[in-house]
Amino acid sequence: MLNIANPTNFLKLASWLVPVFAVLTAVLLGVGLYLSFLAPADYQQGETVKIMYLHVPAAWLSMFIYGVMCSAALGTLVWRHPLADAAQKAAAPLGAGFTFICLATGSLWGKPMWGTWWVWDARLTSVLVLFLIYLGLIALWQAIEDPGRAARAAAVLTLVGAVNIPIIKFSVDWWNTLHQPASVFRLGGPTIAASLLWPLLVMALAFTFLFLTLHLMAIRNEIYRRRLRRLSILAASAGETDLSNTMMEPAR
Amino acid sequence: MSAARSPLRALFQREWRIGRRVGGTGSMGVVFFLILVSIIPFAVGPDLVLLARIGPALLWIAALLATLLGLDRLFQGDDDDGSLDLLLMSETPLEAVVFVKCLVHWLLTGVPLVVAAPVFSVMLGLEPKAIFGVTISLLAGTPALTLIGAIGAALTVGFGRGGLLLAILILPLCVPVLIFGVSAAQAASGGTVPFMTPFVILSALSLAALALAPFAAALALRQARI
Amino acid sequence: MRLAATDLTLERGGRLIFSHLSFSLEGGEALAVTGANGAGKSSLLRALAGLLTPASGRIELLPKTDTPRPEAIHYLGHTDALKGVLTLTENLAFWSAMLAIKPGIKTIDEILRRFGLQTVKDLPAAYLSAGQRRRAALARLLLAPRPLWLLDEPLTALDLASQALLKDVMREHLGGGGLIVAATHAGLGLPAHELKIGAAA
């Protein structure tokens, strides 16, 4: 049984898994985009509703990636696993990226409908706060030099965030109903008919494989980065000259 | 002075004394609060009607920032002089240590803000019911701000730019407290929302923070040592 | 009482400090840890204190009791753990309460007298000289009885008289069955086993 917990074994696994996932991603993206363009236009919003096929899967991914980070965080704190550290660190920018795609597509979707580039509706705002949490995690990673310590701090923050995110969602929904009682348009659009569901699912799957591909690649890079760091430290130690001959013998 | 009878009492006494003797602990927060409240009209205009409408929100944001920007000192002093190591090696659980430090921080930073709020509310033209709403919502919500902020303080102990990083990490987590705090403050003046609903939720958030934040902060402190 | 370290490997920031280190120490014995600067003496002490987790290996204080190992240890690092705005007495009273169950101001006064600090006991610690602060940190060792003392460069920053005082205090501790592990450049001035760190590359 291959022990992928060992970084070397992981690298071997990644070397064939990444191309496979990449191909799957390309295929799924192709099929998904094709289906999206084929899908019927919305009677109210016209063709622009198809941005939903990017926006909604991106939202799902931003939550899914946070879940992946939580599992990795547990791996770091409970099992002290170096691969969990790398998985955490690699996932954070990807999570931020998908969250950003969700926000950007939400903005693009809203412009034709409301004439503004941004609107503070409940879901977009919740996603914005999630984006800020991702940015905070990235900032924490960058602030701590020692990778082990950074991983543990980020793990604690990730788990604290996990507890908070449902509370934030609840409070943003509350806030939204307070301030926009007359809001009719939910950015989710009208209830989605079954025929429109297939492109959505395919795109979601495509995004998932895109994430997995990028994630594996990023973990691989992180492993290389750590090895480089270790080698640099060893090189520094090897360069030390031995001064022990000049020291006094301890007194007895 | 008599000898403290229990470790937590001794810790409270020590934190209190340090807080009171180091110049400006409580007053800096209040002064910052005042400065924020004062510069708002320069940006927004002196129209008291407008200021009264956004007043509760401004006061809450100012209180939030005033609390957060002093929190990076919560554990830094003890980390610098080795006290944190020794506290880790004492019989007292680290969670209890965090709680006592948060309690003193709230008493010395949060409570002065609550006391100052009515005065600053007048500057923003709030009517009595709104003043009451702001004050009581700050009273119920500032403990949550201190406690959640303590998690950030624990995560950023040992950094030079701790204050800024702390704010980046903690502000998103404080959004619920801000939402319900302002909502309660505004609901006190009337309107469609009954005051008790957001106020009870706000209090619940503070209690939840009381239950969970010491554990998260202690975990973060421990993980930083290993 | 016995301190046993088995097969210790310690890493810090990705750097291997030492590996497969083993030693044991009986009650009444002292261990002087020597080595070049940065060799890992302080890290070893912190690992023994429970402030650092070794990458592998075991540290045990035998016989095992319910007390976690860190609570049976006095750790003296490079810093003094004194708050400048509190008086010396307030500082020591605080640590007395944190480290032991029953402090007594009388006991603190006696300890301060022994360390020659009775004249400054009501001054804020910020006004003390470096030597006085160091002696105050040492005074903490006597506030509560704990069997294992981990001392990081204890004789540094002390004048000869204070060093003699510290050696007396250490001898008493060892005489009572206590254990001492000290990181030192210049030896302890007491009979001690020696552990050299960083000798092999």
User: Across the interface, do B89 and C75 touch by the CB < 8 Å criterion?
Assistant: yes
Across chain B, mean pLDDT equals 90
Task: Please report which confidence band the pLDDT of residue A2 belongs to, taking 50, 70 and 90 as the band edges.
Answer: very low
Contact present, A100 and A130 (Cβ < 8 Å): no
Q: What is the mean pLDDT of residues B112-133?
A: 92
C-alpha to C-alpha distance for A128 and C5, rounded to whole angstroms: 51
Identity at C40, one-letter amino acid code: G
The Cα–Cα gap between A251 and C99 comes to 33
Residue B2 banded pLDDT, cuts 50, 70, 90: very low
- pLDDT computed for residue A250 by the predictor: 52
Q: How far is the C-alpha of B136 from the C-alpha of C72, rounded, in Å?
A: 47
> Interface of chain C against chain A, CB under 8 Å?
13-15, 32, 34, 36, 184-189, 191, 194, 199, 201
User: Distance of alpha carbon A190 from its chain centroid, rounded?
Assistant: 28
CB–CB of C97 and B83 under 8 A? no
Which member of B172, B179, B220 has the closest CB to residue A153? B220
Mind listing the pLDDT tens digit for each residue in A122-179? Answer: 888 899 999 999 999 999 999 888 888 899 999 999 999 999 999 998 999 888 887 7
Q: B1 in a domain, yes or no?
A: no
Q: In the predicted model, is pLDDT for residue B60 greater than 90? A: yes
Give tens-digit pLDDT for C48-103: 999 988 888 999 988 888 888 898 999 999 899 999 999 999 999 999 888 875 55
Extents of the domains making up chain A: 8-40+50-180+195-231
- On chain C, the residues whose CB falls within 8 A of the CB of A146 are 13-14
In angstroms, the separation between the Cα of residue C103 and the nearest Cα of chain A is 36
Whether the predicted pLDDT of A104 surpasses 50? yes
Q: What is the mean pLDDT of residues C94-123?
A: 82
Interface test with A, best of B168, B170, B183, B193 (most A CBs within 10 A): B168
Say whether A136 and B169 touch across the interface (CB within 8 A): yes
What is residue C35's predicted lDDT score, i.e. its pLDDT? 85
Q: Show which residues on chain C lie within 8 Å of chain B, measured between beta carbons.
A: 46, 49-53, 70-71, 73, 75, 77-83, 85-86, 90, 93-99, 103-105
Task: Please report residues of A whose CB lies closer than 8 A to that of B226.
Answer: 149, 152
* Average pLDDT over every residue of B121-150: 94
Which residue in chain A has the smallest CA separation from C13? A146
A71: pLDDT strictly greater than 80: yes
Read off the pLDDT band of A182 (50, 70, 90). Answer: very low
DSSP states along A117-160: S----HHHHHHHHHHHHHHHHHHHHHH--SHHHHHHHHHHHHHH
Would you state the pLDDT for residue B4? 43
For position C40, what pLDDT does the model report?
85
Question: Mean pLDDT throughout A65-71?
Answer: 96
Q: Of A66-70, A197-201, B170-174, which range is least confident?
A: A197-201
- Per-range mean pLDDT, top range of A167-176, A235-244, B1-10: A167-176
Residue A67 has pLDDT above 80, yes or no: yes
Helices vs. strands in chain C: H and E counts, helices first: 5, 8
Chain mean position to CA C67:
18
Is residue B185 pLDDT above 60, yes or no? Answer: yes
- What phi and psi values does residue A15 have, to the nearest 5 degrees? -65, -30
The tens digit of pLDDT for each residue in B66-86 reads 998 789 889 998 998 999 999
Q: Which residues in chain C have Cβ-Cβ distances shorter than 8 Å to B85?
A: 46, 49, 51, 75, 77, 81
Which residue carries 């060792």 as its tokens? C141
Nearest by CB: C75 against B3, B86, B225: B86
Q: What is the pLDDT of residue A177?
A: 81
What stretches of chain C adopt beta strand conformation (E)?
2-12, 15-26, 30-35, 56-62, 73-76, 148-152, 179-183, 193-197
Instruction: Write out the residue range of the structural domain in which residue B11 sits.
Output: 7-225
Which of C48-81 are b and which e, b meaning 16 or more Cβ less than 10 Å from the residue's Cβ? bbbbbebeebebebeeeeeeebbbbbbbbbebbb
Contacts C49 to B, Cβ<8 Å: 85, 89
Residue in A140, A170, A172 closest to B169 by CB? A140
> Residue A233 and residue C13: Cβ atoms within 8 Å?
yes
Looking at the partner chain, which of A153, A159, A174 has a beta carbon nearest the beta carbon of B179?
Answer: A174
- Which among A77, A139, A171 has the least Cβ separation from residue B165? A139
- Looking at residues A107-115, what average pLDDT do you find? 83
Phi, psi of C23 (to 5 degrees): -165, 165
Q: What is the predicted pLDDT for the residue at B221?
A: 93
In a domain, B98, yes or no: yes
CA distance C37 to chain B (A): 20
Reply yes or no on whether the pLDDT at C201 is more than 60.
no
pLDDT reported for residue C183: 92
**What is the predicted pLDDT for the residue at B115?**
94
Residue-level pLDDT at B73: 87
- Closest partner CB to C15 (pick from A237, A243, A244): A237
Residue in chain B lying closest to C49 (CA): B89
pLDDT of A197 > 70? The answer is: yes
Q: Binning pLDDT at 50, 70 and 90, where does residue C104 land?
A: low
Integer Cα distance of C7 and C57 in angstroms? 5
Tell me: the pLDDT tens digits for A8-42?
Answer: 888 888 889 999 999 999 999 898 888 888 777 66
Taking an 8 Å cut-off on Cβ atoms, the answer to whether B91 and C94 are in contact is no
- Shortest distance between the Cα of B213 and any Cα of chain A, in A, equals 9
The set of chains that have 3 or more CB pairs under 8 A with C is A, B
A4 versus C123: which is more confidently predicted? Answer: C123
B193/A167 CB distance under 8 A: no
How far is C-alpha C113 from the chain's CA centre?
A: 21
Which fold, C2-197? Rossmann fold (3.40.50)
Please indicate, yes or no, whether the overall pTM of this predicted structure exceeds 0.90: no
Asked whether residue C200 carries a pLDDT value surpassing 60, the answer given is no
Q: Which of A49-53, B10-14, B23-27, C80-84 has the lowest mean pLDDT?
A: B23-27
As a whole number of angstroms, the distance between CA B90 and CA B85 comes to 9
Supply the pLDDT for residue B103: 96
Give how many domains chain B has, as a whole number: 1
For B85, name the nearest residue in chain C, comparing CA atoms only: C51
Six-digit token pair at C158? 């002390």
CA dist., res. B109 & res. B27, Å (int): 8
Domains of chain C by residue range: 2-197
Give the confidence band of A252 by pLDDT, cuts at 50, 70, 90. very low
Query: Is the pLDDT higher at A76 or at A185?
Result: A76
How confident is residue C18, by pLDDT bands cut at 50, 70 and 90?
confident
Q: In chain C, which residues have their Cβ closer than 8 Å to the Cβ of A233?
A: 13-15
pLDDT band at A230 (very low <50, low <70, confident <90, very high): confident
| Distance from the B150 Cα atom to the nearest Cα atom in chain A, whole angstroms | 12
Per-residue pLDDT at C86:
93
Interface mutation vs chain B, best among A70, A160, A167, most B CBs within 10 Å: A160
CA distance C91 to C83: 7
* B10 touches C97 (CB < 8 A): yes
Q: What is the predicted pLDDT for the residue at A133?
A: 95
Does A189 or A84 have the greater pLDDT score? A84
pLDDT band at C169 (very low <50, low <70, confident <90, very high): very high
pLDDT at B1: 39
CB count within 10 Å of CB C164 equals 12
Whether residue A186 is predicted with pLDDT greater than 60 in this model: the reply is no
